[in-house]
Structure 1
């Protein structure tokens, strides 16, 4: 598929104006910059700041820019976004499409506000966005859109393939009945050889997650740029001239990949996005209007206080330790993508708290021997510099620190982690039992207010 006409015209006009943009004329450089975004999840606390960063990048550019969005623009847990049908999110996406050609790979949260993916595709295209996906509409047995696109930028031809996550339970329940998502590795084997061309710049947008991506990587022509998502990770993996990159989540980061020639390794630059930093004025105003209209007094009510801001990792480890304390366990566990962002300093509203701890859940307990616990802990806390071969995709945070010397230990976790014990704990032989009358969100709030 070729980029739609509006996107191509956008690229042509952007390229023509580049020498005149910024503080002075700049000679055009060869190659193309790819601005990579992923897993925003209606992150209203930083979305206007992210747009400002993209605007600044495009304005200062000396080579053509293409924006690649690797899924999950929306988040149903953001009540203002849900109640407004993503009004501010759509404004953000439309603003991107006006800046540079924008290619969007459908993630599992695109149907959060309207469960029919066909409607997302239609609206995004009306904004000038090129939408890609390998997901099929069961009702018609036809794809929702093309799974690949070809475009020209900076004198280069880009071949872009896109695939979604096969984890059907991560899509809205009503959507699951409408969609068929191919097993990603099998789809890649069958389709990537005809999409990725040796004479082109090859790009794979994958929302399938690390575990599937790791099996797809060996299939790729050397020099491919593979962009991962879904697991909310920040990583770069080098394999020859191929680069595999995740660019975080919740508008906390964007990555810019510069490619000079077909088969050349992409050079990568990370740009951190700070809450409260420079923001795109129009989008900031739009978000403020949505919050003013759609947040209730309960949403704005203060549920906790913090003495200092907490990062996502600090928030998650605090929650894991709180689970352990409430359940009378030696150690607590909770999944990485249970969290969207960290907690601000001071008063924490229910709205901000729900952006940090996304899901409610029950608490589960089990007893394990020391050897089993050691094997489990070896898979946990993968928010550091972890080799690709050791990554499990979404992972568990574990806290507090283990006290050694015992023959057996009591562990506790949220029910989602227990249900998906094979993926998280690496085994299915854990006999969990529910801790009665204890809910995740309430226990963490209690712990925050005691800290």
Structure 2
């Protein structure tokens, strides 16, 4: 097995360049049978939506083989005021265009009912657009699935069996919908059902929006030569297992993965960036511009500060984590990976843009831990770097700081403190609230040039 994990920084440096994973694609291969264009965790990231559509159009135009587009959950974002006020018109228009490019399958994530709490309505609208929908989410009131977990898509003389599983972390779904959701553990569902679901399949793709921890249990259950698309953790990497490949395709529309099924039974994959200056789909780009104009207030257009340099998502997280440490008078800071949406751009940053960088506000918390525990937390942090799959734990922390003695003062958000088992892999840390500005205010001060950050 081999592991290749390009960071967002590497992708941005390469811009629109082609293959980024020579370890998976550099050798001679048999002919191409079919290709999958996979993306996860879009979160209404409108600065690249029209560019992603154009990239998909170019992929299918330049590779004349059967294609499938795979959207692995979290299309919508309740934290995006434009998405909410417009009813997600950009997201829905993007989705409507996809079946014209290639057959498209959506695996439901925990944000796909952000704008429409009833998942049944979301699924009905998606199917009305010609999209295939798969999920293991059921209606708790009836016990019936909102969609089937399995679909088979025709690809000329071949076919692709698709299985979709969801995260059962119900507290990450919109609060108004939680009592309607019945979701099995992804790994338990796979152990009980995956064999039967894949019986007699030709080509195989499993789409999981359950995160790395669950996916590790599912991977050994796949037939050799399968494609597994992961999501939920906002990661970007590929992992080879025999002739199969397991990919995370990034988040916030910054990248997608092109995976190829070969006639020798193997699968390869390439991660490709969606650059901000890439050519967009003209019609969709006009809609994006008009929708932003119609739905942003003057306050949301207000510039909060200047970002001296464009930062990758990971570097943004570490910059904010350092700010948390300073605000708490701590040795180190930690912030949850999905508290952040996208990396900070260079130049003036409006309130609207800032809210896509730091998605959630909250309180600053601090605790004192031993040096050995701090070292353990740090070893699991910053998972935007290459690392073995076995060491990835799904929910993770961006971290900045160092120990200065046997006892280490750490700072984090109230969300991470309350969910410390997921983020710190323990439940016995004694956090206390720090009298300090809100998390967003601290983050703005950390990201923008001194003296130019206003209260977020």
Query: Normalising by structure 1, what TM-score?
Result: 0.91
Maintained 8 Å contact 1:32/1:154: no
Give the C-alpha shift of residue 377 in structure 1: 1.1
CA distance 1:449–1:147, shift in 2 (3 Å): closer
* Structure 2 counterpart SS, 1:287: helix
2:346 and 2:239 mapped to 1: Cα distance? 34
Match of 1:76 in 2: 78
Maintained 8 Å contact 1:30/1:155: no
Match of 2:308 in 1: 307
Q: Deviations over 1:247-293 (max 9, x none)?
A: 000111111111024x8221212221111321111111111111111
Does residue 411 (structure 1) correspond to residue 410 (structure 2)? The answer is yes
1:55 to 54, 57, 65: 57
Does residue 218 (structure 1) correspond to residue 220 (structure 2)? The answer is yes
Stretches of structure 1 that go unaligned for 5 or more consecutive residues are 1-28
Match of 1:438 in 2: 437
Maintained 8 Å contact 1:323/1:443: yes
1:359 and 1:199 mapped to 2: Cα distance? 42
Maintained 8 Å contact 2:236/2:248: yes
Q: Deviations over 1:128-183 (max 9, x none)?
A: 10111111012222111111011221422211111100111110001101110111
Greater relative CO (CA pairs within 8 A, separation 6+): 2
Q: Deviations over 1:51-110 (max 9, x none)?
A: 110111112222111111111110111110111110000000111111111011000000
Give the C-alpha shift of residue 196 in structure 1: 1.2
Maintained 8 Å contact 2:252/2:342: yes
Match of 2:46 in 1: 44
Does residue 332 (structure 1) correspond to residue 333 (structure 2)? The answer is yes
Maintained 8 Å contact 1:33/1:64: yes
Does residue 346 (structure 1) correspond to residue 347 (structure 2)? The answer is yes
2:194 to 177, 192, 198: 192
Maintained 8 Å contact 2:162/2:207: yes
Match of 2:115 in 1: 113
Q: Deviations over 1:332-359 (max 9, x none)?
A: 0001111111111111001110111111
Match of 1:321 in 2: 322
1:40 and 1:199 mapped to 2: Cα distance? 29
Provide the aligned C-alpha RMSD in A.
1.3
Match of 2:88 in 1: 86
Match of 1:180 in 2: 182
2:266 and 2:389 mapped to 1: Cα distance? 18
* Structure 2 counterpart SS, 1:152: strand
1:305 and 1:204 mapped to 2: Cα distance? 42
Match of 2:169 in 1: 167
2:449 and 2:286 mapped to 1: Cα distance? 36
Q: Deviations over 1:110-136 (max 9, x none)?
A: 000010001110111111101111110
1:260 and 1:199 mapped to 2: Cα distance? 16
Greater Cα offset, 154-163 or 285-294: 154-163
2:167 and 2:407 mapped to 1: Cα distance? 37
Does residue 152 (structure 1) correspond to residue 154 (structure 2)? The answer is yes
Match of 1:296 in 2: 297
Greater Cα offset, 436-445 or 384-393: 436-445
1:92 and 1:326 mapped to 2: Cα distance? 41
Q: Deviations over 1:386-412 (max 9, x none)?
A: 110000112111113x144x1101100
Match of 1:387 in 2: 388
* Structure 1 counterpart SS, 2:369: strand
Match of 1:249 in 2: 251
Give the C-alpha shift of residue 198 in structure 1: 5.6
Give the C-alpha shift of residue 450 in structure 1: 4.6
1:421 and 1:231 mapped to 2: Cα distance? 16
Maintained 8 Å contact 1:421/1:427: yes
Number of aligned positions between the proteins: 420
Give the C-alpha shift of residue 368 in structure 1: 0.7
Give the C-alpha shift of residue 448 in structure 1: 3.2
Stretches of structure 2 that go unaligned for 5 or more consecutive residues are 1-30, 451-456
